[in-house]
Amino acid sequence: MKHRPLPFSRSLFTMLAALGASALAAETPPADGTAAPAPVVAKSVQEEAKSFQLPPGYRLEPVLSEPEIKEPGVIAFDGDGRMFVAELRTYMQDIDGKNQFDKLGRVSLHWSSKGDGVYDKHTVFIDQLVLPRMLVALDKGRIIVGETNTNDLFIYADTDGDGVSDKKEPFYVGGGRGGNLEHQPNGMVWALDNGLYSTYNDYRLRWTPTGAVKEKVAGNGGQWGLCQDNFGKLLFMNAGGEQGPRSFQQPVLYGAFNPGGQFAPGFDVVWPLVGLADVQGGGGRFRKEDKTLNHFTATCGSEFYRGDRLPAELRGDLFFGEPVGRLVRRAKVEAKEGFTTLSNPYQEAKSEFLRSTDPCFRPVNCANAPDGTLYIVDMYRGIIQEGNWVRGGSYLRGVVEQYGLQNVFGHGRIWRLVHTSMTPGPQPRMNTATPAQLVAYLGHPNGWWRDTAQKLLVLKQDKSVVAALTTMARTDRNEFARLHALWTLEGLGALTPALVRERLKDNHPQLRIAALRVGESLFQKGEKTLGADVMAAALDKDTDVAIQSVLTAKQLDLPEWPTLVAKLNTPTAARGVKEIVGHLPAPPPAAGLAMNPEQKKIYETGKTAFTTLCATCHGADAKGLPMAGAAPGAMLAPSLAGSKTINGHQDGGIKVLLHGLIGDIDGKKYEGQMIAMATNDDAWIAGVLSYVRTNFGNKAGFVSPADVAALRAATKARTQPWTAAELRASLPK
């Protein structure tokens, strides 16, 4: 198996529409005049490179392409700069997405034998996978991999150094998972706080010498892609709800805060060059004059640029893909008064940082690279939506067939963003570095080096560097060195209360925030005296530190945390205090719903499913979300609060989740498409319905897995979604 060329692979997920509760009625594709449009065809790498529009001085240069890779979706680098690529070889191999779950996916491995940035060596590291979607490189020859339709994570290892995995062991056993492949966890980042985070999941994992530990966090609203900034604050990407970046105000450990005003006006408007109108939202989602996408619909694959080999103007900026728009958005990040705002610096010019005239450019991921540049993963294909959104009779299918988009697949490119003023940096050699050498990298100007050095030190669990780390955390003039040293000590279990208290007086507010956060682990291990230090930090002159003190106090369940909320959230408080501290959820009231143990388990399953998936279209309050950028009153999904289907016979809700719903509801059209959820098991469907039917003012009662199983069997021959009229006519009177 070693060093063999990589065969055809497949594509990625668009992240377009999530769980909308009504569907788009079939529409006729926009007429294109008397002549049929020319079919879209694949371009060579060289031709595609000419299609890119970038600011002066910037360009994309190819790093990898077919035949070495096919249908890339995710990349990850190990300590020596070797690149792992998740290849989604079965994704949408035809217009109907047949055989998508065949074990034909793979993780390939690529490296430069000369250390010059040219990836000239290629192996198939892992073969026969089901749509691999999560990669986290560990130490030498080991990587965590997550596949589709399972919550299980495995560590694959190459023990003989031939570039091919020969050992597999479980990292986390989470059991099977159903649902559309676009509605499943992905991304996975080893964050600054030593937690492993992913989209959809309302938990994080922590690596320990004895195995993975699962810890509860807030549902993040993300779908495909997440990233962290220089100080460990995560950002998630949402496409199904057409919301773009999500949950980035504070670390998601403390809650998913998404207040109004966190985007500059018009931020969700996009400016593509390609006008094919191949968008799931139909006529409301493209400009009539040129058929270009007019609003976020497939945002994914984000990264804060944290490198050192591109101009300083980009550092700290956010980049993410919009594959339906064939563009990469650059966002400026402004933090003021404890509140973060994103804006498009090219909005007045009605432009984007990166656009392409090639209809097959599909940027689905971005990554900081060891060489200090930014890599862009391009699935390069015609169809970017999963088959449920391209069904026969749908608007989108007509457009796909009109342009022959289903005929372009089996490609894939990875690009390096470079600038004429700088050259890429050297290849790292961290896998064989000593712990002392890794400590020195914690202050590196490239954030990828800092993150990787910290991760490798935590994995080694070598306490010989504790003294050096303590000195660095106390005295290094580089705030990043102090920051990573502090978190590395936390990951080694070598923090002391004295060091935490000392860093609470650091002259940099982000170090004071870090001291509060790392101190949480000591408090939870018994150092309860740190509670007073947490309370005192609420008086810090820096708004962000004061906010963190409240978040930490609540996280530790200090009895006084509501007092801090009242103390900080005054009429004259800073915006961040009002939007974060002022909206901290109160302790939940005692449940008024009588549940037996089995019902409680089903209810909790449904609550998690609703908050992590359904709410992206129906809203956290289940009242439906307006379709941003559309005409007033246009809704992405209907309200479930007071819904006739939800409050009526239970078979109605079960049928909708099993088969989907299409068309108008009581004369009103909704832009999000409610696709079939039948790939989820009976308990999942029963849980979602039980939760929704007993919340949001609904009082319809529980649904059991047996109810779902019976109706699933009775309607197993059905292959098409329901219309509202057909659904109601099918229900018992």
Residue 564 in contact with residue 531, Cβ under 8 Å?
A: no
CA 662 centroid distance within chain:
27
Residue closest to 156 by CA, chosen among 123, 198, 200, 192: 123
pLDDT tens string 279-314 = 887 778 899 999 999 999 999 999 999 999 999 999
**524: pLDDT strictly greater than 70:** yes
Q: Quick one: average pLDDT of 511-527?
A: 97
Which residue, 316, 234, 216, 253, is CA-closest to 548?
A: 253
Q: Which two tokens stand for residue 14?
A: 């668009």
139 vs 143: CA distance, rounded Å: 8
Among 3-7, 416-420, 435-439, which is the least confidently predicted range?
3-7
pLDDT at 6 over 60: no
Q: What is the 3-state secondary structure (H, E, C) of 347-366?
A: CCCCCCCEEECCCCCCEEEE
Residue range 232-280, pLDDT digits in tens: 999 999 987 788 999 999 999 999 999 999 999 999 999 999 999 998 8
Place of tokens 């908050």: 611
Work out the mean pLDDT of the chain and round it to a whole number: 90
Query: Average pLDDT, stretch 100-125?
Result: 96
Burial degree of 391 (CB within 10 A; 0-12, 13-18, 19+): buried
On the question of pLDDT at 152 being above 70, the answer is yes
Superfamily of domain 597-730: Cytochrome c-like domain (1.10.760.10)
Question: What is the structure's pLDDT at 8?
Answer: 27
Q: How far apart are CA 617 and CA 620, in angstroms?
A: 9
Give 463's DSSP letter: G
Contacts of residue 224, defined as CB under 8 A and 6 or more positions apart, other chains included, come to 12, 13, 15, 182, 186, 187, 199, 237, 239, 300, 301, 364
CB neighbours of residue 601 within 10 Å: 13
- Tokens found for residue 555: 């996280």
pLDDT digits (tens, 9 = 90+) for 533-553: 999 999 999 999 999 999 999
Q: Contact 328/366 with Cβ under 8 angstroms?
A: yes
Which residue, chain included where needed, has tokens 């595609």?
48
Pairing assessment for the beta strands 226-228 and 213-216 based on DSSP bridges? unpaired
Would you call the peptide bond into 72 cis, given omega within 30 degrees of 0 as the criterion? no
For the record, the structure tokens of 537 come out as 């930090």
Q: Between 112 and 589, whose confidence is greater? A: 112
User: For residues 682 and 706, what is the distance between their CA atoms, to the nearest angstrom?
Assistant: 7
Cβ(109)–Cβ(125) below 8 Å: yes
At a CB cut-off of 8 Å and minimum separation 6, what does 299 contact?
15, 237, 238, 239, 243, 244, 245, 320, 321, 322, 329
Q: 134 versus 589: which is more confidently predicted?
A: 134
Instruction: Give the homologous superfamily in CATH for domain 45-419.
Output: TolB, C-terminal domain (2.120.10.30)
Contact yes or no for 271/351 (Cβ under 8 A): yes
> Which of 615, 676, 593, 500 has the alpha carbon at shortest distance from 240?
615
The mean pLDDT of 133-144, rounded to a whole number, is 96
- Give residue-wise pLDDT tens across range 552-580: 999 999 999 999 999 999 999 999 999 99
pLDDT of residue 629: 62
Taking only the tens place, the pLDDT of each residue in 170-209 is 999 999 888 888 889 998 999 999 999 999 999 999 999 9
The DSSP string of 26-79 is P-PPPP--SSPPPPP-PPPHHHHHTTEE--TTEEEEEEEETTT-SSEEEEEE-T
- Determine how many CB atoms are found less than 10 A away from the CB of residue 556: 16
Examine the pLDDT at 9 and tell me if it is beyond 80. Answer: no
The closest alpha carbon to 194, from 447, 490, 523, belongs to: 490
Which residue ranges make up each domain of the chain?
Answer: 45-419, 495-583, 597-730
User: In this structure, are residues 342 and 263 in contact, taking their beta carbons and an 8 Å threshold?
Assistant: yes
Q: Give the tens place of pLDDT for each residue, 473-502.
A: 999 999 999 999 999 999 999 999 999 999
Q: Percentage helix, strand, coil, to 5, in the chain?
A: 30, 20, 50
Largest CA distance in the chain: 78
Residue 624 clears pLDDT 90, i.e. is over it: no
Starting at the edge strand found earlier in the chain, the sheet holding 121-129 runs 72-77, 83-87, 105-111, 121-129
Q: Are 148 and 103 in contact (CB under 8 A)?
A: no
Q: List alpha helices for 81-158, DSSP H.
A: none
The position carrying tokens 């609540």 is: 554
What are the angstrom distances between the C-alpha of 261 and each of 68, 249, 258, 264, 320?
Answer: 44, 12, 9, 7, 20
Task: Give residue for tokens 């009581």.
Answer: 666
User: Do 237 and 248 form a contact (C-beta atoms < 8 A)?
Assistant: no
Q: With 0.85 as the threshold, say if the pTM is over it.
A: yes
Other beta carbons within 10 angstroms of residue 504's beta carbon come to 22
Asked whether the predicted pLDDT for residue 733 surpasses 90, the reply is: no
Name the residue type at position 285.
R
Instruction: Output Rg (C-alpha) for the chain, integer angstroms.
Output: 25
The CA dihedral of 199, 202, 204, 205, to the nearest 10 degrees, is -100
How many other C-beta atoms are found inside a 10 Å radius of the C-beta of residue 659?
Answer: 21
Residue 227 identity (one-letter amino acid): C
Give the pLDDT score at 28.
39
Return d(Cα 181, Cα 101) in angstroms, integer. 9
Q: Is 403 helix (H, G, I), strand (E, B) or coil?
A: helix
Give CA 652 to chain center in angstroms.
32
Residue 72 β-bridge partners: 87
> In the predicted model, is pLDDT for residue 35 greater than 50?
yes
